């Protein structure tokens, strides 16, 4: 079995606005296959920062896998004090706000799956941002009547949605927390005051956005940049006393300290008084924001695994389950990973899932989403029959799942969230899988009281109708939540209900592909969690192009030529910057059976993996 274990390091590429535009053009559809509607393109929200091989981690009591060692240490410290998985997730998020500000923070939103072992129940916590009540479907239409360019819409106040992560975490803590809310902010407050060394990834990310950061002025310019306008280098000691004060206020006053009062007023002022690109956010949007608790979407894969994900307004859980459901019709184990056949068939399943995603998935509080129909087993078997092992579908067409009640227009949203993921299991066996985001790298570039504000509204379609005049499900509406690709996932034993693993990833619309390939690695291909995360990234969306990770074991002439012979347009990319973090049950249960995903039960009760394409780790207490 071939496993992606290269030890090389990639060049530190930077993405300017010009580079983004070039990538958009390069990722287009097959020139030989005209596309009736605009297709969604994949552009990485953050520049790549190399490839550093990681070792699988083991622990007996609990485990945290997340995107930065300082955040992971904060989470494991909370667990060591008797904290729950939710407690640890809060501590991890607050530290990530400080040390990975380009990806997530209290100015953004999140989706979280929580498994409560005592009740044997999974809940889906929705902390997605909402559109201001003053927003209109033409929010991103310029004076000339055309949609704004992406970065024109992003930089400034116009793209800022009502942040949701703090309300969501507070609701989850009230239901599942064990330690006092206040205690969970202490690690981030201390690091903010004492300072931390800027990581290589953070410095590279700053450099990639330096000109835009400078253009937005203070306070972000002097916080992230040197006097000459270049990025503060790796190793620079960075302190953030403003963030410390903000976090202390929230620790003492709860989420109300953020959504009401002086902090809320400063957020609204920053958004609405932007000199060139003001937004619509109002104090009432903040004070009235509520997180939601939803039922997860779940499906059984190959009779053994019950896979649960985030429901709409995320498309992530639905698309992952669609991909798995279609692939059940194929013997992936016999194909082996990293082969022409497996790359072909998995890419074809992605195409069909993304076509349905683009047409049907949006905020279910505003549009009818045929969620049950999209993951219906018979429907997915029918979709699988469209996959020909010898010929690519090319540009995919959405199906008609059970439950469709209205004709929809094709959505061309980019969906480029700058995001992070964390997976946690506590000593009681409760688990959290949480993906959290501020959308593009550094969000809207608007900094308030030590944290950045999101640009989540650009996850909506910039137009309300397609070229045929059909309404687009993911169009802007007041109070609506934009569609997401975030796919926090928890896997169970389908027969017993036992927890088997938690995994997810950042990476924009490619999150679906990253998460699915890791699940396939652990289930069909018998890999441990680290090996599954290491697998090369590849995939397709709503066009004929299949992208493969440049320099990986599948980036060979034989596979590229083989795909082309089957009708794929092949693109090599070194910007498949996944950030997978997973924890699986690796032990032997009381009945003597090992976990379904266990590969070395003697090593520890839990095993964790972290993506070599980012700087995270997995760590636990024994």
Helix (H, G, I), strand (E, B) or coil at 148: coil
Query: Strands 545-549, 569-573: parallel, antiparallel or unpaired by DSSP?
Result: parallel
DSSP 8-state secondary structure symbol assigned to residue 281:
-
Sign of the C-alpha dihedral computed for residues 481, 484, 486 and 487 taken in this order: positive
413 is in an annotated binding site: no
**Could you confirm whether 419 is annotated as catalytic?**
yes
User: Which among 134, 138, 205, 187 is positioned nearest to 506, based on CA atoms?
Assistant: 205
- CA 518 to chain centroid: 14
Length of the chain: 622
Cβ neighbors of 302 (< 8 A, separation 6 or more) are 328, 523, 524
Spatial contact of 148 and 51, defined as CB atoms under 8 Å apart:
no
Q: What is the DSSP letter of 232?
A: P
Contact criterion met (CB below 8 Å) for 67 and 105: no
Structure tokens at 251: 């620790």
Task: Determine the Cα–Cα distance for residues 571 and 581; give it in Å rounded to an integer.
Answer: 26
How does DSSP classify residue 185? G
The reply, when asked if residue 509 is annotated as ligand binding, is no
**Contact yes or no for 515/503 (Cβ under 8 A):** yes
128 is in an annotated binding site: yes
Burial class (CB in 10 A: 0-12, 13-18, 19+), 471: middle
DSSP per-residue string spanning 221-256: HHHHB-TTSPBPPTT-EE--HHHHHHHHHHHHH-TH
d(C-alpha 345, C-alpha 360), whole Å: 23
**Cα distance between the two ends of the chain:** 32
Query: Of 419, 515, 523, 573, which one is the catalytic site residue?
Result: 419
**Separation CA 606–CA 603 (nearest Å):** 8
Give SS3 for 88: helix
Inter-CA distances, 71 with 96, 104, 188, 608, Å: 6, 12, 8, 15
Which of helix, strand or coil describes residue 528? coil
Please report how the helices 85-99 and 186-194 are oriented relative to each other, as an axis angle in degrees rounded to 10: 20
Is residue 302 annotated as involved in ligand binding? no
- Count Cβ neighbours within 10 Å for each residue of 388-404 and write b for 16 or more, e otherwise: eeeebbbbbebbebeeb
Kindly tell me the sign of the dihedral angle through the C-alpha atoms of 289, 295, 300, 305: positive
On whether the CB atoms of residues 36 and 394 are closer than 8 A, the answer is: no
Tell me: is residue 287 an annotated ligand-binding position. no
CB-based contacts of 400, cutoff 8 Å, min separation 6: none
CA-closest candidate to residue 390, choices 341, 353, 349: 341
Task: Give the residue numbers annotated as catalytic, written as ranges.
Answer: 419
> Known binding site for L-glutamate: residues?
128, 459, 484-485, 508
Enumerate the known binding-site residues: 128, 459, 484-485, 508
């Amino acid at each position: 079995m071939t496993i992606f274990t290269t030890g090389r390091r990639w060049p530190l590429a930077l993405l300017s606005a010009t580079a983004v535009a070039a990538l958009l053009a390069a990722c287009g559809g097959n020139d030989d296959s005209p596309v009736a509607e605009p297709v969604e393109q994949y552009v990485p929200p953050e520049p790549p920062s190399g490839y550093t091989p990681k070792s699988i981690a083991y622990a007996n009591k609990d485990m945290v896998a997340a995107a930065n060692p300082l955040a992971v240490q904060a989470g494991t410290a909370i667990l060591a004090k008797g904290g729950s998985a939710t407690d640890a997730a809060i501590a991890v998020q607050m530290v990530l706000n400080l040390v990975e500000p380009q990806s997530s923070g209290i100015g953004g939103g999140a989706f979280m799956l929580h498994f409560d072992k005592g009740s044997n129940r999974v809940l889906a916590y929705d902390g997605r941002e909402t559109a201001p009540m003053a927003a209109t479907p033409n929010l991103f239409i310029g004076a000339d009547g055309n949609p704004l360019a992406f970065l024109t819409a992003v930089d400034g106040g116009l793209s800022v949605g009502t942040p949701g992560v703090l309300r969501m975490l507070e609701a989850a803590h009230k239901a599942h927390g064990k330690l006092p809310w206040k205690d969970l902010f202490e690690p981030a407050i201390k690091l903010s005051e004492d300072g931390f060394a800027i990581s290589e990834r953070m410095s590279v990310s700053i450099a990639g956005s330096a000109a835009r950061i400078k253009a937005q002025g203070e306070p972000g310019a002097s916080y992230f940049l040197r006097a000459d306008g270049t990025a503060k280098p790796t190793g620079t000691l960075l302190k953030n006393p403003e963030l410390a004060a903000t976090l202390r206020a929230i620790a003492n006053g709860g989420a109300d300290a953020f959504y009401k009062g002086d902090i809320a007023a400063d957020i609204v002022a920053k958004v609405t008084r932007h000199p060139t690109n003001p937004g619509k956010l109002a104090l009432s949007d903040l004070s009235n924001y509520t997180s939601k608790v939803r039922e997860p979407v779940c499906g059984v894969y190959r009779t053994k695994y019950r896979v649960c994900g985030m429901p709409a307004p995320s498309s992530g859980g639905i698309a992952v389950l669609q991909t798995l459901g279609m692939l059940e019709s194929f013997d992936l184990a016999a194909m082996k990973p990293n082969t022409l056949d497996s790359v072909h068939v998995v890419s074809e399943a992605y195409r069909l899932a993304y076509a349905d995603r683009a047409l049907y998935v949006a905020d279910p509080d505003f549009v009818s989403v045929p969620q049950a129909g999209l993951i219906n087993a018979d429907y997915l078997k029918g979709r699988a029959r469209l996959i020909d092992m010898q010929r690519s579908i090319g540009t995919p067409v959405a199906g008609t799942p059970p439950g469709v009640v209205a004709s929809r227009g094709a959505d061309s949203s980019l969906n480029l969230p700058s995001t992070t993921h964390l997976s946690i299991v506590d000593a009681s066996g409760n688990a959290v899988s949480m993906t959290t985001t501020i959308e593009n790298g550094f969000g809207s570039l608007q900094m308030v009281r030590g944290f950045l504000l999101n640009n989540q509204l650009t996850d909506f379609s910039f137009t309300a109708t397609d070229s045929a005049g059909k309404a687009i499900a993911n169009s802007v509406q007041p109070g609506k939540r934009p569609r997401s690709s975030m796919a926090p996932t928890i896997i169970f034993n389908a027969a017993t209900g036992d927890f088997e693993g938690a995994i997810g990833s950042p990476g924009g619309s490619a999150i679906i592909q990253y998460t699915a390939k890791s699940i396939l690695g652990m289930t069909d291909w018998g890999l441990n969690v680290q090996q599954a995360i290491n697998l090369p990234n590849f995939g397709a969306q709503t066009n004929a192009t299949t992208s493969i990770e440049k320099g990986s074991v599948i980036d060979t002439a034989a596979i590229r030529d083989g795909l082309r012979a089957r009708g794929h347009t092949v693109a090599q990319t070194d910007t498949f910057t996944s950030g997978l973090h997973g924890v699986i049950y690796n032990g032997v249960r009381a009945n003597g059976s090992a976990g379904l995903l266990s590969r070395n039960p003697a090593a520890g009760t839990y095993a964790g993996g972290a993506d070599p394409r980012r700087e995270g780790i997995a760590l636990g207490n024994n």
